[in-house]
Amino acid sequence: MAGPNLEIFRFGLYLFFPLAIMAHFGNPDWYRRHVLPYKDRIIPKDNKQKLPHTHSEVVAELERRKAERLRRKLENEQS
């Protein structure tokens, strides 16, 4: 069995590690430098996609996407 010093070390590690991670990655400056430029590469700002808000719009969008997926699947099978 380990002594109390090991228990104090483990407790300190269990407490310090998550707090250090949250302090590092939760820093707004770090977020602005590392996350926002990457987000702008993935999702361009000129993306004019209109998100559905009502139930009927959501259902219509799902139907449109299903039809698009089926069309692409049929095209791939014919190729």
Is residue 6 located within the same domain as residue 37? yes
Q: How many domains does the chain have?
A: 2
Indicate if 57 and 44 belong to the same structural domain. no
Render pLDDT for 28-51 as a digit per residue (tens, 0 to 9): 999 999 988 888 788 777 767 778
Share of the chain above pLDDT 70, in %: 96
CB 52 within 8 A of CB 61: yes
What local confidence, expressed as pLDDT, does residue 30 receive?
92
Task: Answer with the residue of higher pLDDT: 1 or 42.
Answer: 42
Predicted pLDDT at 47: 62
- Check whether residue 9 and residue 43 sit in a common domain: yes
Q: How distant, in Å, are the alpha carbons of 19, 20, 28, 72 from that of 34?
A: 20, 18, 10, 35
- Structural domain of residue 66, as residue ranges? 52-79
* pLDDT, averaged across the chain: 90
